[in-house]
């Protein structure tokens, strides 16, 4: 058979099976565009790790601190970057590391108010049940303050956060076949997040009092509550990000705010785990007999994670022929299980004021420059 005749035979076969060929092409496009079996996973950056931590702690309903630190206390005043919708891009500020996008500009001593708040009733400690008693008897009276404890020492109050476990799994499979040839691709992801804070404590002041305190502080420390001054201070730690402008006339892309920490949440022990695993693969099989559809990956968790699910989903079929396959997996795991020597802050609450934006300085080349 000549090359021309061979080509005509192939063309006639394609025309005769036009619908099947079209379906195969659509399937292949879906495989490579939607499932992306060969796409590499982007390696996590420092910001990704901080973001994963902050989003996890943020689910507890408090503002997160990354990294957890002793060096955060009630009365701290922070200048921070607050993104606005107009012209702003990227993730919200709350999902970014506070200590990387903010700078402490002052501290207002609140020991008096903290001690006043600490004079709330404290009740007796829980006793262990006495076996085999069916009644768990407890002391129902308010506890006496120990006589040997100084009245100027700040006590911590017990607080509790529920354990949070989040699981998210997804599987995508595509197959295309004609005659004895089969092509398939599969992508599987498994994301898991778990937070358990076994021992949490807190101290702080009332927010209503903090509003007046912050306003009085700004009235005395006027420069530290002015946008141009605070923006300049932030530029030394954040960089040019805080000086970006947009629009005509020019205005700053990001607004600046001042936070006053009113309550700090401390932990002595934590179990935190965040993992994100992705497996993908594709297989091409040609044989002397029509290939059967590959087995579908089980819906439950396969031992070994997503990679095993993809391997099973693209398993070869019995029979003679040839097979070409590629399977890859990427994963990112962040884990912190530790008991600390002293309590560290992992979150806080605050009152905030937004600073009136200043007008950006006009540099020579903000206007038409001539050379």
Tens of pLDDT along the chain (371 residues) come to 677 776 677 677 666 666 666 656 665 665 565 555 555 555 555 566 777 788 888 888 899 998 899 999 999 999 998 866 454 444 444 445 544 588 999 999 999 999 988 788 888 888 888 777 777 788 888 888 776 666 788 989 999 888 766 666 666 565 655 555 566 667 777 778 888 888 899 999 999 999 999 999 999 999 999 999 999 999 998 888 888 888 778 888 888 999 999 999 999 988 888 787 777 776 666 554 444 444 444 444 444 555 565 555 555 554 445 555 566 666 777 787 888 899 999 999 999 999 998 988 765 445 544 44
The pLDDT of residue 213: 97
pLDDT score of 41: 55
Tokens 């085999």 appear where? 132
Which residues, 6 or more positions from 1, have their beta carbon under 8 angstroms from its beta carbon? 9
Same domain, 168 and 276: yes
Return d(Cα 39, Cα 289) in angstroms, integer.
32
**Do 55 and 9 sit in the same domain of this protein?**
no
pLDDT of residue 208: 93
Q: Are residues 22 and 50 in the same domain?
A: no
Please indicate, yes or no, if residue 313 is contained in any of the structural domains.
Answer: yes
Residue 366's nearest CA partner among 255, 238, 253, 251 is: 251
Same domain, 80 and 177: yes
Are 86 and 199 members of one domain? yes
Q: How many residues does the chain have?
A: 371
Residue 93's pLDDT is 46
Contact between residue 159 and residue 200 where contact means Cβ atoms under 8 Å apart:
yes
Residue 53 falls inside a structural domain: yes
Residues 5 and 53 in one domain: no
- Three-class SS state of 17: coil
DSSP result, 258-276: EEEEEEEEEEEEEEEEEEE
Q: Are residues 261 and 316 in the same domain?
A: yes
* 267 shares a domain with 224: yes
> Degrees (nearest 5) of the Cα angle 55, 59, 62?
95
Side-chain half-sphere exposure of 248, counting CA atoms within 13 A: 2
Residue 276 in any domain: the answer is yes
* Total count of domains within the chain: 2
What pLDDT does residue 145 have?
A: 74
Asked whether the bond before 189 is cis by omega within 30 degrees of 0, the reply is no
For residue 48, tell me if it sits in a domain.
yes
The answer on 4 and 50 residing in a single domain is: no
94 and 110 inside one domain: yes
Residue 196 maps to a domain: yes
Q: Which of 328, 10, 301 is nearest to 178 (CA)?
A: 10
What is each CA distance from 296 to 166, 179, 188, 311, 334, in whole angstroms? 25, 20, 12, 10, 30
Q: Are residues 8 and 56 in the same domain?
A: no
Query: Do residues 37 and 280 touch, judged by C-beta distance below 8 A?
Result: yes
Q: Is residue 133 part of a domain?
A: no
Per-residue pLDDT at 165? 66
Residue 118 pLDDT? 79
In the 8-state DSSP scheme, what is residue 31?
I
Task: Look up the domain containing 151 and give its range.
Answer: 41-120+145-361
Looking at the DSSP bridge assignments, the partners of residue 188 are 171, 279
Do 108 and 217 have their domain in common?
yes
Residue with tokens 């965040």: 274
Residue 106 lies in a domain: yes
Q: pLDDT value at position 91?
A: 42
* Assigned domain for 174 exists: yes
């Amino acid at each position: 058979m000549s090359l021309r005749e061979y080509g005509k035979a192939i063309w006639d076969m394609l025309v005769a099976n036009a619908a099947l060929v079209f379906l195969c092409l659509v399937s292949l496009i879906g495989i490579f565009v939607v499932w992306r079996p060969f796409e590499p996973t982007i390696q996590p950056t420092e910001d990704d790790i901080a973001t994963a931590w902050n989003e996890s702690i943020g689910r507890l309903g408090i503002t997160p601190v990354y990294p957890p630190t002793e060096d955060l206390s009630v009365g701290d005043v922070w200048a921070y970057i607050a993104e606005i919708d107009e012209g702003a891009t990227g993730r919200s500020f709350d999902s970014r590391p506070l200590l990387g996008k903010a700078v402490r500009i002052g501290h207002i001593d609140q020991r008096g108010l903290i001690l006043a708040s600490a004079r709330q009733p404290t009740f007796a400690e829980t006793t262990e049940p006495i076996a085999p008693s069916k009644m768990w008897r407890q002391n129902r009276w308010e506890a006496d303050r120990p006589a040997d404890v100084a009245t100027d020492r700040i006590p911590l109050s017990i607080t509790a956060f529920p354990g949070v476990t989040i699981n998210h799994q997804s599987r995508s499979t595509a197959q295309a076949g004609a005659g004895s040839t089969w092509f398939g691709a599969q992508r599987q992801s498994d994301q898991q997040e778990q937070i358990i804070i076994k021992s949490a404590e807190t101290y702080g002041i009332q927010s209503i009092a903090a509003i007046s305190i912050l306003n009085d502080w700004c009235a005395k420390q006027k420069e530290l509550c002015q946008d141009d001054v605070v923006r300049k201070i932030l530029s030394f730690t954040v960089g040019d990000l805080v000086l970006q402008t947009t629009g005509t006339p020019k205005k700053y892309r990001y607004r600046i705010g001042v936070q006053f920490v009113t309550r700090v949440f401390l932990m002595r022990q934590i179990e935190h785990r965040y993992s994100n695993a992705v497996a993908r693969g594709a297989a091409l099989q040609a044989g002397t007999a029509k290939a059967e559809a590959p087995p579908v990956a089980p819906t439950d968790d396969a031992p070994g994670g997503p990679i095993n699910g993809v391997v099973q989903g693209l398993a070869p079929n019995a029979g003679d022929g040839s097979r070409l396959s590629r399977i890859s997996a990427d994963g990112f795991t962040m884990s912190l299980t530790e008991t600390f020597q002293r309590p560290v802050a992992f979150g806080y609450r605050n009152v905030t004021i937004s600073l009136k934006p200043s007008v950006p300085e006009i540099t020579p080349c903000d206007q038409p420059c001539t050379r």
